[in-house]
Amino acid sequence: MAAVDQKAATFTVTGNRLDAAARGSRVDYPVLWLGLLSVLYNGILAFINHNIMPLSLTHVAASEGLILASAIIYILHKGIYETDLPAFLFLLFTLVVTIYVSVLNRMPFVDHFRNVLIIFCFSGLGGWSNEKTMKLAFRWASLAVLIFLIFEIVSVPFYVSIVHPSDYFANTRGLLPLSYNKTGLFQNALGFPERFSFGIIDHRSSSIFLEQVSLANFCGVIAIYLISMWERTGRWDRLLFIATAVLILVTNDTRTMLIFCFACIVGYFVFPKIPKNFNLALMPLIVAAGFLVYTLKPNATGDNFTGRINLTMKKIMDLDPLAVLGLSVDRVGEFADSGYVYLLYAATIFGVIAFWLFVCLFPAGRTAAQRRCAHSLSLFIFLNMMIGGTAVFSMKIAGLLWFVVGYMRFHDSPRIRQGRAADVES
């Protein structure tokens, strides 16, 4: 009888593995479309705004809310497992901080909760995604970005006729174009003569993102995906991702992502040799380096690397002591260009610590590929927060970024349903 039970258990395990393999070969379309929409939804709304009907901020918020709600429904349908608890507890802690800040300031403030909800949703989707679905999401997203980038490079009027970024931001964000901006592009994409540039085009490219900062950061997301999945990525996909990243770098005039991409090339060989927990030291080291730059060049200003670092350092040193406890949330709008200060005002010192720990500890670090993903993620976020603001929290970037992080966390150790494990044990 024991032998029969053992055979039955073996058959059950084998059957489960075959079922998992079959599921892994299928495209999970809800996950695929949610991943794609995180990148494309602003471009789709801009097309509607310019060619069909005027939109407002309400339409943008509703679209984002629908994507997040769909992701939450999908994740809850799958179930929350023990391995999902870090992300769930991070979201729960952020909700507590959000309530605390809102009550303390006598005004609803959900910005940081929204940012963490995006992380929770897309890391969860990535955790449930199979390899085929994730590869399709990145392939199609990169292809869309590349096509619209080529449109923009070849003919700005044609690109504007499709999405008209200037009108979109005027209608949905209240950012009216400046008098000298007759191009139809988002005014911040026009740049200025002194800015670093390869001189390929006469403005900073935006592609499907409609503004230049998100496109630059998408290049960083591609870099993280490539060094995490390089050995499992086919030749044509490698060519697509590299071509997209290079074209972004030479037309977007982004110094930070140029540095980050070179760091990822070196990191492909170096990151697997570094323990994952080293990431805990990365944020303090980057902030300390910022203070060193400020000490050496205290008068550096302008839209350059040292100027942006100094801007962040000055805002940190001018920090309102009450802000670290969440008592100055009404000033958070002043710090959209300084990520660390924005996070302090929006989430309190407790929220900053929780975010730091989650970014460093949530990614897996068992394999070489997982360590590449973990180290590149921390470098991308903590470096970005030194010279930029809220871009790494937007769904356009955070969606696919945390999608790949969630996938890499589970790709070599898939969840096992408790019922099946119990059947085998019995």
386 within 8 A of 393, measured Cβ to Cβ: no
CA distance 422 to 426: 6
CA distance 195 to 97: 39
141 and 245 Cβ atoms separated by less than 8 Å? no
Each residue of 194-238: pLDDT tens digit? 665 677 888 899 999 999 999 999 999 999 999 999 999 999 999
With contact defined as beta carbons under 8 Å apart, do 35 and 137 qualify?
Answer: yes
pLDDT the model gives residue 299: 76
pLDDT > 80? residue 353: yes
Tell me what pLDDT residue 197 has.
63
* Across 334-354, average pLDDT: 87
Type of residue numbered 39: V
For residue 425, pLDDT beyond 60:
no
DSSP 8-state assignment for residue 81: -
Q: Rounded CA gap, 122 and 218, in Å?
A: 15
The answer on pLDDT for 7 being more than 70 is no
CA angle 244, 249, 253 (to 5 degrees): 145
Residue 273: how many other CB atoms lie within 10 Å: 8
Per-residue confidence (pLDDT) for residue 195, from 0 to 100: 62
Among 86-100, 113-127, 254-268, 405-419, the least confident range: 405-419
Three-class DSSP category at 201: coil
pLDDT of 415 over the 70 cut: no
Residue 357 burial (C-beta neighbours within 10 Å; 0-12, 13-18, 19+): middle
Average pLDDT, the chain: 86
- 22 has a pLDDT exceeding 50: no
Q: Does the structure show a pLDDT above 80 at 172?
A: yes
Which has more pLDDT, 177 or 184? 184
Encode pLDDT of 324-336 as tens digits.
Answer: 888 888 888 777 7
Q: Is the pLDDT of residue 399 over 90?
A: yes
- Tell me the per-residue pLDDT of 26-66, one tens digit each, with 9 for 90 and over: 999 999 999 999 999 999 999 999 999 999 999 999 999 99
Tell me the C-alpha distance between 106 and 81, whole Å.
36
Q: For 394, list phi and psi in degrees, rounded to 5.
A: -70, 150
Indicate the pLDDT class of residue 88, thresholds 50, 70 and 90: very high
Q: What are phi and psi of 413, to 5 degrees?
A: -150, 70
pLDDT number for residue 369 = 95
Report the share of the chain in percent with pLDDT over 90. 63
Task: Look at residue 388 in the predicted model and tell me its pLDDT.
Answer: 76
CA distance 207 to 365: 34
pLDDT value of residue 81: 87
Q: List b or e across 251-262, with b for residues whose CB sees 16 or more CB atoms inside 10 angstroms.
A: bbbbbbbbebbe
Q: DSSP class of residue 52?
A: T
Q: Which residues of 122-138 are buried (b: 16+ CB within 10 A; e: fewer)?
A: bbbbbbbbbeebbbbbb
Placement of tokens 């990431």 in the chain: 279
Cα pseudo-dihedral 315, 320, 321, 327, rounded to 10: -130
Q: How many Cα neighbours within 13 Å face the side chain of 77?
A: 10
Task: State the average pLDDT over residues 8-20.
Answer: 38
Instruction: Report the pLDDT value the prediction gives residue 14, as an integer from 0 to 100.
Output: 37
Contact 126, 20 (CB under 8 A): no
Q: Is it the case that residue 322 has pLDDT exceeding 90?
A: no
| 8 Å CB contact between 377 and 405 | yes
Dist CA 66 CA 298 (whole Å) = 46
At residue 351's C-alpha, the angle toward residues 380 and 68, to 5°, is: 70
Alpha helices, DSSP H, located in 271-304:
279-296
pLDDT of residue 121 exceeding 80, the answer is yes
pTM above 0.85, yes or no: yes
Q: Return the pLDDT at 416.
A: 52
Between 304 and 87, the more confident residue is: 87
| pLDDT for 8 beyond 60 | no
Residue 308 has pLDDT above 90, yes or no: no
Q: Which two tokens stand for residue 240?
A: 């697509």
Q: Is the predicted pLDDT of residue 96 greater than 90, yes or no?
A: yes
User: Rounded to whole angstroms, how far apart are CA atoms 120 and 106?
Assistant: 27
Between 183-192, 262-271, 387-396, the lowest mean confidence (pLDDT) is in 183-192
The neighbour count for residue 18, using CB atoms within 10 Å, is 10
Per-residue burial over 186-196, b if 16 or more Cβ lie within 10 Å, else e, is: bbbbbbeeeee
Rounded average pLDDT over 395-406? 96
**Given a cut of 70, is residue 303 above it in pLDDT?**
no
DSSP tag of 83: G
As a whole number of angstroms, the distance between CA 5 and CA 18 comes to 20
Mean pLDDT for the stretch of residues 416-424: 40
Structure tokens, 131? 């390899």
Closest among 29, 39, 13, 206 to 130, alpha carbons compared: 29
Q: Pull the structure tokens for residue 376.
A: 């590149």
